[in-house]
Structures are given as C-alpha cells and as structure tokens.
Amino acid sequence: MLYMNLIKRLETYRLKNKITQEKLAKKLDVAFATVNRWFNGRSKPSDIQTYHIEKLLKEGAKYGKRKK
C-alpha cells in the first residue's frame, strides 16, 4: 500500500526534525488525532491530505539539501 510508505516517510521526517505529532498536525492543518490515527494505522490520509504531506516532504528534502 502506497500510503503506508508515505506515512513511514512522514514519521521519519517528524523524528529527524524533532517535531511532535501535534506540531506536525498544525503544519498540515489537520487535528492531532488525525495524525495520530495515521501513525497508528487506524485511518489513512485523504487525497488532499496526501498532496500536502508530499509537499511537506519535498520541501523538507530541499531544505535538507541546502543545509548540508
């Protein structure tokens, strides 16, 4: 399942950048409970949420490359 890979990448991003689930939820403009359910496998992101997650991960990758 593609969304599981996306969630794993999101969790890696969160841990690498030392962001709480609550702060991540604010960045993605969703409720903390929503992010928590994604990480616990109880729900999956909608198409629009997936778009915003991908966008966040791409921006994070660009930032990381510049930082080196």
Q: What is the pLDDT of residues 27-56, one digit of tens each?
A: 999 999 999 999 999 999 999 999 999 999
Mean pLDDT of the chain: 90
4 band by pLDDT with thresholds 50, 70 and 90: confident
Every domain of the chain and the residues it spans? 2-57
Just give the CATH number of 2-57: 1.10.260.40
Name the residue among 25, 31, 48 with its Cα closest to residue 10. Answer: 25
Query: Which class for 50: exposed (0-12), middle (13-18), buried (19 or more C-beta within 10 A)?
Result: middle
More confident residue, 68 or 59: 59
